[in-house]
Amino acid sequence: MPSEPNPLAVAAIQAKTPVGSPLNTEGWSNVPLALRESAQFSARVESMRLLQRVQDRIENAVGMLRREGMGKDGGEGAFQTREKFVAELQQIARDEGLDPLNFGEPGLAGGLQDITSVRRLNLVYDIQTENAHEYAKWKMDQDPDVLNAYPAQEFIRVSPRLHPRLDWKARWLEAGGRAGRMVALKTDPVWIALSVFGRPWPPFDYGSGMGLRDISRREAVALGVMKKGEKVKPIDKPFTEKMEASVKDLSAKMQSALKRSFGDQVEIVDGVAKWKGTS
The pLDDT confidence band at residue 2, using thresholds 50, 70 and 90, is low
Question: Cα separations (Å) of 278 from 51, 53, 104, 275?
Answer: 12, 14, 31, 9
CA distance 269 to 249: 10
Q: Is the pLDDT of residue 75 over 80?
A: no
- Strands 17-18 and 39-40 turn out to be parallel
With 60 as the cut, is the pLDDT of residue 190 above it?
yes
Position 72 confidence tier, pLDDT thresholds 50, 70, 90: very low
pLDDT at 64 over 70: no
Query: In the predicted model, is pLDDT for residue 78 greater than 70?
Result: no
**β-pairing, 152-157 with 210-215?**
antiparallel
Mean pLDDT of 33-43: 96
DSSP H helices in the chain: 7-14, 25-29, 33-37, 48-63, 82-95, 118-141, 144-149, 168-174, 190-194, 217-222, 236-245, 252-262
pLDDT tens, position by position, 236-272? 888 989 888 999 999 999 999 999 999 999 999 999 9
pTM listed for this prediction: 0.90
For 238, the 3-state DSSP assignment is helix
Average of per-residue pLDDT across 83-111: 95
What is the per-residue pLDDT for 1?
52
The predicted model gives 22-36 an average pLDDT of: 95
The overall average pLDDT reported for the chain is: 92
Going from N- to C-terminal start, the domains of the chain cover 7-134, 143-234
pLDDT at 58 over 90: yes
Q: How distant, in Å, are the alpha carbons of 31, 188, 201, 256 from that of 238?
A: 20, 12, 15, 28
Average pLDDT value for residue range 48-67:
86
User: What is d(CA 191, CA 145) in angstroms, rounded to the nearest whole number?
Assistant: 21
Amino acid letter, residue 35:
L
- Dump pLDDT digits (tens) for 147-187: 999 999 999 999 999 999 999 999 999 999 999 999 999 99
Query: Which residues lie below 8 Å from residue 15, measured CB to CB, with a gap of 6+?
Result: 38
Q: Which residue has the higher pLDDT, 279 or 17?
A: 17
pLDDT more than 70, % of the chain: 93
Residue type, 258: L
